[in-house]
Structure 1
């Protein structure tokens, strides 16, 4: 049997969070397919799950969330301590009389996700903008919480 570090490298990427996200998307797809097989309406029970990304810079974090088809007024950003919560809703279009959906792979519903950041943030200076279906949140770190290199004498 291969040793554990070799097994891990062969079967998983270097970023475990991307593996979790990929796994979550596969589970969502399977649940949607299961609902369709059972004759239920998957869009009424399943929430949509947008992709997100957090990058760290020297003085802040940058959170990006893809929210195509969501209106700016249907997005909420809340900060509490080291936790940021994003809430969004993609509403279904009203079906017009005489018009039937032939195929729908678009997920509708509400989205709520909380991100715990690795250190405290400056809540008063958080800046959010929503452009072309992408939410970008700049999250400044607290000055005294940022790492500082110490010179050795």
Structure 2
């Protein structure tokens, strides 16, 4: 009897890793909706869910988002106070309807819009936020700002 990994490799069963990824996407969408990351008027479900990495250095934060197949003009970065929002759209290629056109037999690529917001842990310098898009990867450098200091208010 073949063991389970051999069955997955033979194609008789779906890859367990693909299934885990699908469950992770569903959980991300649910948590985004429950935590209020979805904005008014946006779709209730995101069509694709890119991977991202958020890290911190001494003087800045760095956000890296994988957006393969997304064109630079379809990526928007917005900063509002302590909230950073990424919007992207991956558009599906239209197939030619002629007889000699290629036929799509399988597609596991997700198309559609993506919106994700991050609440930053401390104030940032909004004027110095820098976003670069290279080779399908969005890199956002977010300089830390000065924390507001307590101010004594005189009572009249």
TM-score normalised by structure 2 residue count: 0.64
- 5+ residue gaps, structure 1, are 1-20, 29-44, 146-153
Contact 2:83 / 2:120 at 8 angstroms: preserved in 1? yes
Distance 1:46 1:96, change over 3 A: farther
Which residue number in structure 1 is paired with residue 87 of structure 2?
A: 87
Higher-helix-fraction structure: 1
Structure 1 vs Structure 2 CA RMSD: 2.1
- 5+ residue gaps, structure 2, are 1-20, 29-44, 149-156
Shift of 1:50: 0.2
Larger Rg: 2
Shift of 1:22: 8.3
Q: Secondary structure at the match of 2:73?
A: helix
Contact 1:77 / 1:86 at 8 angstroms: preserved in 2? yes
Contact 2:123 / 2:147 at 8 angstroms: preserved in 1? no
Which residue number in structure 1 is paired with residue 71 of structure 2?
A: 71
Shift of 1:101: 1.1
Name which of 95, 109, 112 aligns with 1:109: 112
Whole-angstrom CA distance in 2 between matches of 1:64 and 1:111: 15
Q: How does 1:120-131 map to 2 (within 5 A)?
A: 120-131=123-134
TM-score normalised by structure 1 residue count: 0.65
